[in-house]
Structures are given as structure tokens and as C-alpha cells.
Amino acid sequence: MSPLNLLVARIALLLAAVSGGAAGAADPPLPPPPLAIKAVTVTPPSPGPDTLCRLAVTLTNSGDKIASRFELRVKVGGHELPAYRGRVFLAPLPAHGELELPLLNFWSTEPSRPAPPGGSLPVEVSLVDARWVERTVEDGVETWKPAAPAQPIAGLPLAKTVTLTLAPPPAAKKP
């Protein structure tokens, strides 16, 4: 093998080793986000058509600060509910704590969102933004302010979906 071919072969082996090592090395796993959606609760769990449903989400916080300013999105049957656009929930979620947050009620079916074929109705709740906050009390007055530095909480958005089974409509009464 000529010196030039030997040099090219060595460079090729070196490049293969370097690229193989980089591709073979696993990136360290990312830590789980400090906030999580533990549960999405819909009552009743098997609504009939045109039934008003109560919705709640349970959030957990594994962080060392209080979380608040939750921005959520809700989809029912794949349709986003517009009432959540621009809405911020200011409930405090304690550090290393849990919070059940009541959300807005929704109808199981609407003229723009008829009952799905097959009777399965997915309800998706997404936590798209939240902030760390600090609580202070001066002269008996409680104040909440963004924790410094004010920045979004890492790991968002998060989503959780529950699928409801719609109860059949009541049978029509015979005259």
C-alpha cells in the first residue's frame, strides 16, 4: 500500500472510530420535568349525549419552588375548547406537592361536536405553560410574585388523555 493510501486508510479508520463512538455513546437521560399531570378526572365517567361534564386535573410538583400561572389547553373529541385560550389559572402548587385543579365544565356533545362514532370520547388536557412563584407576607398581606429569574418551567408542554365511553341515549318512550 502506498504511503498516500495508507494515510487515507488511517484517516478513514479514525473518522469511523470518532463517528461510531459519538453515535454509539448514549446521551445522558434527561431528568423528568418537575411538573406532571397525575390525573384527568371527568364526572360522570360515562356521560350520555348532551350531558354536562365536570373536568378536573391533578398536577404534581417535584420541584423545590411553588408553581402557578398554569396555562392549559383542553381538547374534547379532538376539538380544542376555545374557552381556555388566554386563560391563566393562578392556584399555587406547593413544592413537592399535589393540586387538584377544577377546570371548566363541558358538554359531552354539542352541535359543532356530535357524538363520535363508536362512542369513545377522548378528553385531552395539556399543560402548556407554568411559572415558579414566591409567596411573601408583609403586615398580614399575602403577595405572590414570579420567582427570580422569571422564566417558564422546563419540560412543558405535557398532556394526558382519558377516553370516556358515552352511554347510549335513552330509549324513546312508546306512546
Tell me, what's the pLDDT at 5? 53
169 phi/psi in degrees, rounded to 5:
-65, 150
Q: Which of 106, 124, 121, 125 is nearest to 165 (CA)?
A: 121
Cell matching residue 31: 431528568
Q: Which domains does the chain have, with CATH numbers?
A: 35-165 (2.60.40.10)
Confidence of residue 172 (pLDDT cuts 50, 70, 90): low
Across 169-175, average pLDDT: 70
More confident: 174 or 18: 174
What CA–CA distances, in Å, run from 41 to 36, 86, 151, 157?
15, 22, 29, 19
Q: Are strands 120-138 and 158-165 parallel, antiparallel or unpaired?
A: antiparallel
Cell matching residue 63: 420541584
Indicate if the pLDDT at residue 7 is higher than 70.
no
Of the listed ranges 18-22, 49-53, 72-76, the least confidently predicted one is 18-22
More confident: 124 or 175: 124
Q: What is the pLDDT of residues 52-97, one digit of tens each?
A: 999 999 999 999 999 999 999 999 999 999 999 999 999 999 999 9
Task: Fill in the DSSP letter of residue 65.
Answer: S
Indicate if the pLDDT at residue 132 is higher than 80.
yes
Cell matching residue 114: 356530535
As a whole number, the mean pLDDT across the chain is 87
Question: What span, in angstroms and rounded, lies between the C-alpha atoms of 36 and 105?
Answer: 22
Q: What is the CA radius of gyration of the chain?
A: 26
Across 120-141, average pLDDT: 94
* Predicted TM-score of the model (pTM): 0.78
More confident: 137 or 73: 73
Question: What span, in angstroms and rounded, lies between the C-alpha atoms of 88 and 91?
Answer: 9
Contacts of 3 (CB under 8 A, 6+ apart): none
More confident: 125 or 19: 125
